[in-house]
Amino acid sequence: MGKSFLILDEDGNLNRMVAPLLESRGHKITHCCVGKEALEIVGQNSLDAVILGEQLKDIDGIGWIVRLRQVSNDIKIVYISNTWKEAELYQKLTKEFGVGLVVHRPLKPSLFGVQVESLFPGNGKVQEAAFTALAIPETDTRPQMPSGLEDTLAALKEKYIKVLPQRLDALTEAVRQAHANPDNQTLLCEARRLAHNLKGTAASSGFEPIGNAAAQIERSLDAVRSGKTVSLEDEWLLIEAAMQVASSEADSVSRQGLSGPRGERRFENLRASDIARARVLVVCQDDLPPPVNGSASALPVEIILAGSESEALEKARKLPLDAALIDMSMEGKHNPCQLARELRGLAGYENLPLGFILASSQPEDRIAATHAGASVYLVKPLDDTALHKAMHYLIGVREGGRSRVLIVDDDDDFSSLISFTLGSEGMLVRSIADPQLIEEMMEKFSPDLILLDVNMPGVSGFDVCRLLRSTPRWQDVPILFLTGETGLDARISAFDSGGDDYLPKPVANVELLTRVKVRLERSRMLKERTDKDVLTGLLLRRAFMEQLNSLLAEAQRYNLNFCVCLLDVDHFKKVNDTYGHLAGDRVLSHFGQLLKRRFRVEDLRGRWGGEEFILAFRHETKDTMKGALTRALDELSITPFQGDHGETFYTAFSAGMVSYPEDADNVHDLLQIADKRLYIAKETGRKRVVTDDEGKC
């Protein structure tokens, strides 16, 4: 039997969206925009329910609810909210003011129809109504994907269409078993999980009716599990009707989506490695050993070949790179070390990992390569194993550069959709279906942000989030819950477990991109402000010591060595007194940038305080690093600086270097010895690097 509804909204948009749907189901609709007139309508008519938005022409929606409850407690209320409401307000609406349903925009009309009718239990036409609602075609109002991805998204849809029948068969069988054994919570949970996954992926792929049908199945299974339903029979009828809609829609899209050879070719050419690739620039005139392309640092790799310095610089300006490998025996107008400096001088490439291919392993070549920033050295002739290991290391050590996003979701099809969306923006994306692999992947991939599903087999997303927040190394990594769980309890649990944001499935691509970019940028800015010195861009003392202690633990665990060096700008007080404090700041800033551009990206650089700096060189000997540091000293010594009144002056630095475990086996002693050697360098003439207690340079 039809019901009588009053729809209240400020501009009529809500009425235009909802009224035709409810009228087609036999309900009577009255529309009003003014709160005062609406109260008069309530007093003059017998209404079953009121549907209202957040704002009317003369009063806000919540204020109108308060006035309505002063004259009537019998009319059911559906409140349409533009944003998620805080728990306290939500409880007030539902408990104190008797709001039967709170729905958040954007509305899905067919789903909304079933939700509204659920306020009136005992409807004998539940099955028919559900089928009608779920089968109504909807207009896709989601934001459009950036141009250039249409073919990729079409291929993903076609891939999903191919697996859709199997997914529906699995859901059908799970529902059948759950219906036959309604007291078996395990069977009910499995059916609910499959419906939950189908809801998020189908709707996100553009198949709204299938997603809506799956949402109804999920909701009805929740009601069966909890026992919070007026009629179990009606819930199973709703599930049966929704399954029919999903199967019918799947048959329809299968017939349409896979017709024609173009779609088949596009699907077959779609590879998992296309999701996100790390790009390595290889500057070499010789042929590389096959196979070049492969997997490194948990990422597929794309090799960008360049046969000259000019070609290398041109490609570096056009493509986002993650590492570069340079042949030192190349012929050209620049020597390879100069090319390395020019690459690291490009905007955004200050921390670009570099590797050098050497004709022979001579100490002088190694020192020059280290000074230029080489993290690895390959000696000719090359073999594919050495090349693969070098790329693995280079990609793994980069900090900054392209953002890395890890997706943790047991639905591979949904992960593929999100991966392509983020990959189109230049992000490096990996996904795992088993949440128990999270720690291993965090170590290998080191993501800048995590997209985390809630409902997964074995471990919930909330548990994964708590695990990461309990690990100091990953406490600050942004975590966004991306799930079909939209209930208030789930939202509260997401933030309570340590999540930073919450985005419900189905996902609007533009909204996802916006939220991810905002979180990544905020995280970067916070890290910069917390860990970096503003003037020099180097690590502050606290942040440096944290990383130095981690370096010591790594060296102890794997029996490795490293060097630590304390540096002091020579006669810095005289610079300030003679040329001005602004000139002194220019010296410190330039010196910090010099230390950032030289040496390897995995080496640690910090401002110890005042004019003192500190370096830590991973897995390298004092002899090699002393040679590289001496070259940096020569660079600084010939750099002209301008005083506050236009004077030209020069400066240099003194340094004391120690080695683990040769000089000491703990951080405290290493720093004390380095400080002692720095003092010796000052006392014996400055402008030198001292590596032992006898003042050896």
CATH at 686? 3.30.70.270
Q: Across the chain, what does the average pLDDT equal? A: 79
For residues 126 and 113, give the distance between their C-alpha atoms in angstroms, rounded to a whole number: 11
Q: What is the pLDDT of residue 495?
A: 84
Residues 45 and 91 in one domain: yes
**Is the pLDDT at 649 greater than 90, yes or no?**
yes
Last residue of a domain, one of 529, 564, 588: 529
- Answer yes or no: is 122 within a domain: no
Q: What is the pLDDT of residue 406?
A: 92
Looking at the chain, the whole-number percentage of residues with pLDDT higher than 70 is 83
pLDDT band, very low/low/confident/very high, at 147 (cuts 50, 70, 90) = very low
For residue 592, give the nearest of 350, 337, 336, 339 by alpha carbon: 350
**Is the pLDDT at 680 greater than 70, yes or no?**
yes
- Answer yes or no: is 140 within a domain: no
**Is the pLDDT at 229 greater than 80, yes or no?**
no
Residues 506 and 365 in one domain: no
Least reliable range by pLDDT among 87-96, 266-275, 442-451, 636-645 = 266-275
Using DSSP's 3-state secondary structure scheme, residue 431 falls into: strand
Furthest-apart CA atoms within the chain: distance in Å:
102
Say if CB 404 and CB 448 are below 8 A apart. Answer: yes
CATH at 154? 1.20.120.160
**Is the pLDDT at 168 greater than 80, yes or no?**
yes
Least reliable range by pLDDT among 303-312, 563-572, 584-593 = 303-312
**Is the pLDDT at 303 greater than 90, yes or no?**
no
Residues 441 and 553 in one domain: no
Q: Angle, nearest 10°, between helix axes 150-180 and 261-268?
A: 80
Least reliable range by pLDDT among 124-133, 333-342, 613-622, 679-688 = 124-133
Domain range for 192 is: 150-268
Q: Residue 625 contacts by C-beta under 8 Å, 6 or more apart in sequence?
A: 370, 563, 565, 617, 657
Strands (E), 20-170: 28-32, 49-52, 76-81, 101-104
The phi, psi pair for 79, rounded to 5°, reads -110, 125
pLDDT band, very low/low/confident/very high, at 342 (cuts 50, 70, 90) = confident
Which run of H or of E encompasses 432?
A: strand 428-432
CATH at 301? 3.40.50.2300
pLDDT average, residue stretch 403-432: 83
**Is the pLDDT at 612 greater than 80, yes or no?**
yes
Q: Where are the alpha helices (DSSP H) in 532-663?
A: 541-558, 572-579, 581-597, 622-637
231-245, 377-391, 550-564, 666-680 — most confident range: 666-680
Residues 212 and 332 in one domain: no
- Answer yes or no: is 593 within a domain: yes
The distance from CA 300 to its chain's CA centroid, rounded to whole angstroms, is: 18
Between residues 378 and 50, which one has the greater pLDDT? Answer: 50
Paired with 449 in beta bridges are 405
For residues 425 and 517, give the distance between their C-alpha atoms in angstroms, rounded to a whole number: 10
For residues 375 and 372, give the distance between their C-alpha atoms in angstroms, rounded to a whole number: 9
CA torsion, points 616, 620, 623, 624, in degrees to nearest 10? -100
| Pair of tokens at residue 191 | 């059916």
For residues 675 and 694, give the distance between their C-alpha atoms in angstroms, rounded to a whole number: 14
Residues 637 and 675 in one domain: yes
pLDDT band, very low/low/confident/very high, at 491 (cuts 50, 70, 90) = confident
**Is the pLDDT at 129 greater than 70, yes or no?**
no
Residues 547 and 685 in one domain: yes
262-271, 304-313, 367-376 — most confident range: 304-313
Strand order in the sheet with 689-690: 604-609, 612-618, 562-569, 653-660, 689-690
Residues 392 and 411 in one domain: no
For residues 662 and 668, give the distance between their C-alpha atoms in angstroms, rounded to a whole number: 14
For residues 145 and 167, give the distance between their C-alpha atoms in angstroms, rounded to a whole number: 26
Q: How do 428-432 and 323-327 pair as beta strands?
A: unpaired
- Answer yes or no: is 141 within a domain: no
- Answer yes or no: is 121 within a domain: no
pLDDT average, residue stretch 520-529: 78
Q: What is the pLDDT of residue 88?
A: 66
**Is the pLDDT at 341 greater than 50, yes or no?**
yes
Q: What is the pLDDT of residue 6?
A: 92
pLDDT average, residue stretch 499-526: 80
Say if CB 203 and CB 249 are below 8 A apart. Answer: no
Q: What is the pLDDT of residue 154?
A: 63
Paired with 479 in beta bridges are 450
pLDDT band, very low/low/confident/very high, at 239 (cuts 50, 70, 90) = confident
For residues 181 and 383, give the distance between their C-alpha atoms in angstroms, rounded to a whole number: 60
Residues 212 and 290 in one domain: no
Q: What is the pLDDT of residue 564?
A: 94
Which pLDDT tens digit goes with each residue over 74-115?
899 998 887 655 556 777 788 788 888 887 766 655 556 666
Residues 566 and 429 in one domain: no
Q: Where are the alpha helices (DSSP H) in 258-300?
A: 261-268
**Is the pLDDT at 116 greater than 50, yes or no?**
yes
- Answer yes or no: is 641 within a domain: yes
Q: What is the pLDDT of residue 673?
A: 94
pLDDT average, residue stretch 553-558: 85
Q: How do 648-649 and 641-642 pair as beta strands?
A: antiparallel
| Pair of tokens at residue 376 | 């690895």
**Is the pLDDT at 149 greater than 50, yes or no?**
no
| Pair of tokens at residue 535 | 């003037």
End-to-end Cα spacing for the chain: 96
Q: What is the pLDDT of residue 496?
A: 85
- 21-41: b (≥16 Cβ within 10 Å) or e: bbeebebebbbbbebeebbee
**Is the pLDDT at 207 greater than 70, yes or no?**
yes
For residues 506 and 143, give the distance between their C-alpha atoms in angstroms, rounded to a whole number: 12
Q: How do 404-408 and 689-690 pair as beta strands?
A: unpaired
CA distances to 111, 396, 416, 474, 559 from 443, rounded to whole Å, are 42, 10, 22, 10, 19
pLDDT average, residue stretch 465-474: 86
Domain count along the chain: 5
**Is the pLDDT at 259 greater than 50, yes or no?**
no
| Pair of tokens at residue 255 | 């017939």
Looking at the chain, the whole-number percentage of residues with pLDDT higher than 90 is 19
Residues 334 and 384 in one domain: yes
pLDDT average, residue stretch 404-413: 87
Q: What is the pLDDT of residue 125?
A: 41
Last residue of a domain, one of 107, 139, 160: 107
- Answer yes or no: is 551 within a domain: yes
Q: What is the pLDDT of residue 261?
A: 41
For residues 522 and 543, give the distance between their C-alpha atoms in angstroms, rounded to a whole number: 19
Residues 552 and 684 in one domain: yes
Say if CB 635 and CB 583 are below 8 A apart. Answer: no
- Answer yes or no: is 132 within a domain: no
Residues 178 and 245 in one domain: yes
pLDDT band, very low/low/confident/very high, at 332 (cuts 50, 70, 90) = low
**Is the pLDDT at 294 greater than 60, yes or no?**
no
Last residue of a domain, one of 529, 549, 584: 529
